[in-house]
Amino acid sequence: MREASELLRGLRTGVAGQPHSPFFLVIAPFVTHYKAMRTAIYPGSFDPFTNGHLDVVQRASRLFDRVIVAVAKSDGKHPLFLIEERKSLVEQSIRGMRNVEADTFDGLLVNYVEKHSAQAVLRGLRAVSDFEFEFQMALMNRKLNDSFETIFMMPKDTYTFLSSRIVKEIARLGGDVKQFVPDHVQAALSVKLGLKKDKESPKSVTQTGAESAS
Ligand code: PNS
């Protein structure tokens, strides 16, 4: 608030009491808007994006001017979907949300956050079991870069049991995941797992065990 009132006073008086040029008066509102922009990064493996993730994004989009769902490469977790596939599933899920976008990143999260001048990193917190890992990650990120905050958001209570890992397991075993993921994610799971079954790839079984719980 103080920042805004100082800016308004500056607009009236200009430098050393002189009025500002017309050009400055025209661009000033945009400069003000840019300064006030609040960006949040929502990082994750999103393998695949679930209704729980979507719920967090919807809540965040009401709090921040810009929300970037940042799909991590997460090679070490041997994801089922390729990074571009995961990004595409996010894009289809956020269609129509004007201040939300999807992106991919590789490397340190703190570098990505800095590159986008974001003020916050968002993480969904479902249960106490999530807390230890999330706490460690948030504090480590703060050690690496103290210029942003990690904010934990609780998804709707009906999603507290939901995870990408469980969704994949249910789908793989022929269960119905309709209520847990957007329709296009369900379709993508069927195709992906169907293809894998056709090929009878033993590698896909190994990959399953190493996937993350998120
Ligand atoms: O959905 P996930 O797999 O739980 O997301 C974890 C993720 C991708 C947010 C985390 O592994 C991450 O930030 N990876 C980027 C690499 C990094 O910055 N590692 C240091 C974290 S302290």
Q: CATH number of the domain at 92, please.
A: 3.40.50.620
pLDDT per position in the chain (214 positions), as tens? 445 555 555 555 555 556 667 776 677 666 655 557 999 999 999 999 999 999 999 999 999 999 999 999 999 999 999 999 999 999 999 999 999 999 999 999 999 999 999 999 999 999 888 999 999 999 999 999 999 999 999 999 999 999 999 999 999 999 999 999 999 999 999 999 984 544 444 443 334 333 444 5
pLDDT of residue 26: 74
Closest CA to 44 of 191, 173, 165: 165
Do 20 and 44 lie in one domain? The reply is no
Structural domain range at position 25: 2-35
* Active site residue ranges: 53, 77, 126, 164
Span from the CA of 109 to the centroid of ligand 1 (angstroms): 7
Do 72 and 11 lie in one domain? The reply is no
Is the CB of residue 109 below 6 angstroms from any atom belonging to ligand 1? yes
Q: Which residue has the tokens 């001048």?
A: 117
Is the CB of residue 104 below 6 angstroms from any atom belonging to ligand 1? no
Q: What residue spans of the chain are helical by DSSP H?
A: 2-13, 22-36, 51-63, 83-93, 109-115, 128-144, 164-172, 183-199, 202-210
Tally of domains in the chain: 2
Do 115 and 167 lie in one domain? The reply is yes
Q: Which residue has the tokens 């050393």?
A: 16
Measured N-to-C along each axis, helices 183-199 and 164-172 cross at an angle, to the nearest 10 degrees, of 50
CA–CA distance, 85 with 188 (Å, rounded to integer): 9
Do 81 and 155 lie in one domain? The reply is yes
Do 190 and 140 lie in one domain? The reply is yes
pLDDT of residue 51: 98
CA angle 92, 120, 97 (to 5 degrees): 25
Question: Residue of the nearest CA to atom 21 in ligand 1?
Answer: 137
CA angle 19, 23, 29 (to 5 degrees): 90
CA–CA distance, 36 with 25 (Å, rounded to integer): 17
Q: Tokens at residue 65, please?
A: 């001017």
Do 118 and 199 lie in one domain? The reply is yes
Strand partners, 69: 42, 102
Do 156 and 194 lie in one domain? The reply is yes
Do 98 and 67 lie in one domain? The reply is yes
Do 31 and 110 lie in one domain? The reply is no
Span from the CA of 44 to the centroid of ligand 1 (angstroms): 6
DSSP H or E stretch at residue 46: none
Is the CB of residue 39 below 6 angstroms from any atom belonging to ligand 1? no
Do 94 and 12 lie in one domain? The reply is no
Which residue among 69, 136, 137 is best mutated to probe the pocket of ligand 1, counting the most ligand atoms within 8 A of its Cβ?
A: 137
Do 67 and 148 lie in one domain? The reply is yes
Is the CB of residue 207 below 6 angstroms from any atom belonging to ligand 1? no
Measured N-to-C along each axis, helices 51-63 and 83-93 cross at an angle, to the nearest 10 degrees, of 60
Do 78 and 12 lie in one domain? The reply is no
pLDDT of residue 203: 40
